[in-house]
Amino acid sequence: MNTVFYISAGVAIVSTFLVITRRNAVHALLYLIVSLLSVALIFFALGAPFIAALEVIIYAGAIMVLFVFVIMMLNLGPQAVEQESRWLSPGIWVGPTILALILIIELLYTLTLEGNQRVGISNIEPKQVGIVLFGPYLLGVELASMVLLAGLVGAYHLGHRDQTKRSRGL
C-alpha cells in the first residue's frame, strides 16, 4: 500500500503540473481528471474508501464534466490555442515560482517541527462517516444543502440568456 501511495503521488504531481502548462483547454481538463483519479487512489490507500468513491463520482465525474460542457459551449476554436501560446511567455513564470518556493519552504519547515506519526493505519468505513454526518455534523449537512440550493438557483439565473434582443446580461 505504501508504494501505491507514492506512485499515485508522483502521478498526481506530474499531471497537475501538466494541467497548468497546457495550451489547449480540453487537454488541460483531461490531465486534471487524471490528477483527480490519482488523488482518489491516495484516499483509498489512506483508508478512506468512501471519500475515494466520492472523489471519482462527484469531482471527476460531475464537476469536470461540467467544465467540459462549458468549454464546448464556448466553441473557441484553434485561435484560442494560438492566443494561449502568446500569453504563456516563459518570463511570467518567474514571480509565481518564487512565491511557490517560499511557501513550500515554509511548509517544510513547519513539517519538521511535527512528530513523525504514521497515517492510514486503519480503514474508516462509510458507515462511520454516515453516523458522524447524522450526528454532530447534522447542521453542517443542512448548510451544505443550502449552499447547493443557492448554487443551483444562481447558476440557473446567471446562465439564463434572455431570448429577446433586450438582453442586458444579468
By the 10 Å C-beta count (0-12 exposed, 13-18 middle, 19+ buried), 145 is classed as exposed
First to last CA, the chain: 51
134 binds another protein (CB under 8 A): no
In the complex with another protein, the residue whose CB is nearer, 78 or 159, is 159
Nearest to 65 by CA among 106, 36, 104: 36
28 binds another protein (CB under 8 A): yes
Over the window 36 to 75, marking each residue x when it contacts another protein by CB under 8 A and - when it does not, the resulting string is x--x--xx-xxxx-xx--xx--xx--xx--xx--xx-xx-
Among 77, 79, 117, 163, binds another protein (CB under 8 A): 117
110 binds another protein (CB under 8 A): yes
133 binds another protein (CB under 8 A): yes
Binding residues for another protein, how many (CB under 8 A)? Answer: 92
142 binds another protein (CB under 8 A): no
